[in-house]
Amino acid sequence: MQTLSPPTSNALNLKQLIRPRPRSRPRPSVKCVYSFEPASTRADWQSSCAILASNVQQNSADNNNHNGATADHVAAVNGHKASVTDLKLVPIQNLADSNNKPLQPKPLTISDLSPAPMHGSKLRVAYQGVPGAYSEAAAGKAYPNCEAIPCDQFEVAFQAVELWIADRAVLPVENSLGGSIHRNYDLLLRHRLHIVGEVQLPVHHCLLALPGVRKEFLTRVISHPQALAQCEHTLTKLGINVAREAVDDTAGAAELVATNNLRDTAAVASARAAELYGLNVMADGIQDDPSNVTRFVMLAREPIIPRTDRPFKTSIVFAHDKGTSVLFKVLSAFAFRNISLTKIESRPHRNRPIRLVDDANVGTAKHFEYLFYVDFDASMAEVRAQNALAEVQEFTSFLRVLGSYPMDMTPWTPSSPPPSH
């Protein structure tokens, strides 16, 4: 059995985030940060965005004051059941200058509200994987000319944004063949980032191996589990009935084959990965469907202000004490307003996974509890969407808006025609 040496990747990992790398430019300091205390039960998401933006106190001019406080410590109001008038601003950290004299918050300037990065000209975008991964291409599609920052796990990409190491993260949530990337649904809830956009990337897989390697030499194919799932039938049709092994990302698989000089292993990855790691393309377009697409979400520390002048999508997550029994009622809030749902996903409710219902005569029913993630085809700037959410709130014990953002309306590329039915 051959021992594989890990690829010499520069991807960010969790250890580095605990003690972040030295930064080329210091992060902006914050004079005073606030948390929101929701007091009522009526949500007003749109106004909350405005309040959230207007309370981000940051002073990029004073870079000498490094006490670790940053504007993203402002608690995200999105998801709390609160109206703007009921929000109490509570100073959670009053900072002092070197003589211990309290510093007053500075008034907001227009640059505080600008989406431009604070540290240089390029937006820094975290993605999971190594160069050549589809996620890197998605980051480039979402933010052309960005500096893409490789991270070794999805969790690290979330934290890179939260810790201001990156400005945005671009992460996959679903693929047209492989389905949902559940880990990212769970992380969306655990973290406080906002969805500010989406990109749909056509995914065109290749079978890569070292130059000179033939099909008959192969004893295994390695890749990201989603990529292996997307090529399963084609690999079998090509007569490649060898072991499949999952690794962290497609380009990482290509790097592994190259670094370890593996002549018995092929990787499923992009043509760009073949170029980057010096591999040969043994087969091209091996995804089981030519229109294979992965949908990625763009994540930021602050939400964007929703608009109505172009197609918007809104993503929410909710739960109910009575579980699935109210699902129909919740969804009817959208149906009655002619709002189409574009996606629904359920995940285990990790805080309360089981609900017991005792029946003295027959025993105890053990119901699994779920969180429901729903994407719908409307902007939170639309009254019908606000009314729908107000109604959803009546039926749910927990509701959070993950983001209201422009839909990816990129024209379909002729190289990958839509499937004909």
Ligand X SMILES: O=C(O)C(=O)C[C@]1(C(=O)O)C=C[C@@H](O)C=C1
Catalytically annotated residues: 294, 296
Q: Is 172 in the site for ligand X (CB under 6 A)?
A: yes
Q: Does 277 bind ligand X (CB under 6 A)?
A: no
Q: Using the rule CB under 6 A, is 250 a contact of ligand X?
A: yes
The binder of ligand X chosen from 9, 46, 226, 396 (CB under 6 A)? 226
Contact 157, 151 (CB under 8 A): yes
Name the residue nearer to ligand X (CB basis): 79 or 172: 172
| Segment interacting with ligand X (CB under 6 A) among 145-153, 210-218, 246-254, 411-419 | 246-254
> In this structure, are residues 315 and 345 in contact, taking their beta carbons and an 8 Å threshold?
no
Minimal distance in Å, beta carbon 135 to ligand X? 3
CB of 124 to ligand X, least distance (A): 18
Residue 89, CA distances (Å) to 44, 50, 54, 396 in order = 16, 14, 12, 26
287 touching ligand X, by CB under 6 A: no
Q: Does 375 bind ligand X (CB under 6 A)?
A: no
Tokens of 92: 């959670």
Tell me which residues in 183-202 interact with ligand X (CB under 6 A): none
Q: CA 221 → CA 167, 206, 207, 277, 294, distances in Å?
A: 35, 12, 9, 16, 21
Residues near 410 by beta carbon (within 8 Å), at least 6 away in sequence: 199, 200
Taking the C-alpha atoms of residue 119 and residue 123, their distance in angstroms, rounded to an integer, is: 9
Q: Please report whether residue 209 would count as binding ligand X according to CB under 6 A.
A: no
**Closer residue to ligand X, CB minimum distance, 46 or 294:** 294
Whether residue 277 contacts residue 132, with contact meaning beta carbons closer than 8 Å, is answered with yes
Task: Give the Cα separation of 277 and 250 in Å (integer).
Answer: 12
Closest Cα to residue 169, out of 136, 200, 202, 145?
136
129 touches ligand X by CB under 6 A: yes
Strands (E) located in 228-292: 243-246, 265-269, 280-284
Q: Does 152 contact ligand X by CB under 6 A?
A: no
Interface with ligand X by CB under 6 A: which range of 62-70, 73-81, 223-231, 382-390?
223-231
149 binds ligand X (CB under 6 A): no
Q: State in angstroms the smallest separation of the CB of 304 from ligand X.
A: 24
Rule CB under 6 A: which residues touch ligand X?
129, 133-135, 172, 175, 181, 203, 224, 226-227, 249-251, 294
